[in-house]
Copies of this chain bind each other. A is one copy, B any other.
């Protein structure tokens, strides 16, 4: 515990890895690229999941569950989707192992148990779901279908990083079916707004909403909306996407419905998802060189109370003293932990809770009992104050709200400082290299220019921001006419 973290300035990537390990969030497993999400990390993910689930239900969605396997032939049905997803994937070819005839302690694949058709472990579920929807949709009465699924997915990634890019990850994928194009478009816009609201109000993470350029769209989508967040190292992180799929999957899987007027029409589709990648975004948005910093709304423990005592009598006196406070806090909906572990010293506990990002720490000792005080430490500012015990519950509630707001404002301030408008390619490269962050600039709208910029600088168009007003100018690269600035950045 005494060991200090690598600082962000020294090695941002090492800093990130050390926080993930040190705060007990996740670790690499025996399976290449797959992670183990540890209880503390999972508790944060559960809070995110539960809140998102609530927001999905409030917007009329229901959960369901579709198979983990996608038969190869279903992937072949939608060409772009296959191109984008079916290639780097886990392929199940057999359904049995047998004892190795040469070594009875070993198992080998039984060649007799070869599948007639290979199964892909789902990298995303459009294919299996739209193949199912064909059976569910006959008439306009069956629409809309507003379904979400919480699931694990597998994409065979070559370079993996905990939470940010793993072979297996957890996510939710919404899959909706609509009678009209406008309804489907409205749904995909609604859901990117839900993501934005969640990111800002719960993760305290400011995001920029916008559309993806064609080359950055989901494989099989006519339009992809995204929320883009800025990390402290100046790189962008795509935190959630919502796709308008047009009639592409309805065509591929022949999903038609009969209108009120008795005509046959293809169904319109959307899909949208966020994943455990959000954990990476959360960590990198707020944490500091002392460890994880968590917004109170997603903190598994919002307040930890550390007793400073000698001997059991003092510990019991403190326990008795703080019991009404703990009950009061619980009534206010505050999650509080009394850390009475007698195998660890207070200093060890302080460091541990700091590293784990507990938003507020109370320290209370014998002297405090006499004086009717306690010490309250804020993790976000790393400040301490002595407060009256009698006011503690109220002050703690207020501080938690303040921390939530203050983290958002700090991140927003950082982002404001790191959005730069540029008008020449020299400037573009200089900002990208020296400052990083988001770059707003004119682009001629062609894939060629986009590719050329990417090749030369590694920066990609993160989005065409919804909030960016039309403005005429010249493309930063080609000099051709442009009528809107778009947002470039290097990205995770």
Q: Please tell me if the beta carbons of A46 and B63 are within 8 angstroms of each other in the complex.
A: yes
Chain B neighbourhood of A151, CB < 8 A = 152
List residues of chain A with CB under 8 Å of any chain B CB: 27, 29-31, 34-39, 42-43, 46, 62-72, 74-76, 79, 82, 86-98, 105-107, 109, 118-121, 128, 131-132, 135, 141, 147, 151-152, 154, 156, 168, 170, 343
Return A66 CB to nearest CB of chain B, in Å: 5
Chain B neighbourhood of A118, CB < 8 A = 97, 109
Closest to A88 in B: B96
A75 to B96, CA, bound (A): 13
Closest to A85 in B: B97
Q: Please tell me if the beta carbons of B93 and A121 are within 8 angstroms of each other in the complex.
A: no
Chain B neighbourhood of A343, CB < 8 A = 141
Return A448 CB to nearest CB of chain B, in Å: 25
> What copy number does this chain have within its complex?
2
Return A52 CB to nearest CB of chain B, in Å: 14
Q: Please tell me if the beta carbons of A93 and B95 are within 8 angstroms of each other in the complex.
A: no
Given A42-B63, A67-B35, A92-B121, A74–B30 Cβ distance below 8 Å?
Answer: yes
Q: Please tell me if the beta carbons of A36 and B64 are within 8 angstroms of each other in the complex.
A: yes
Chain B neighbourhood of A74, CB < 8 A = 30
Chain B neighbourhood of A93, CB < 8 A = 91-94, 109
Instruction: Please list 30 pairs of residues, one from A and one from B, whose beta carbons are closer than 8 Å in the complex, sorted by A's number.
Output: A30-B71, A30-B74, A30-B131, A34-B68, A36-B64, A36-B66, A36-B67, A36-B132, A37-B65, A39-B63, A39-B64, A42-B62, A42-B65, A65-B170, A68-B121, A68-B154, A69-B90, A72-B107, A76-B105, A87-B97, A87-B98, A89-B97, A90-B94, A92-B121, A93-B93, A95-B156, A96-B156, A97-B118, A97-B120, A141-B343
Q: Please tell me if the beta carbons of A97 and B105 are within 8 angstroms of each other in the complex.
A: no
Return A311 CB to nearest CB of chain B, in Å: 20
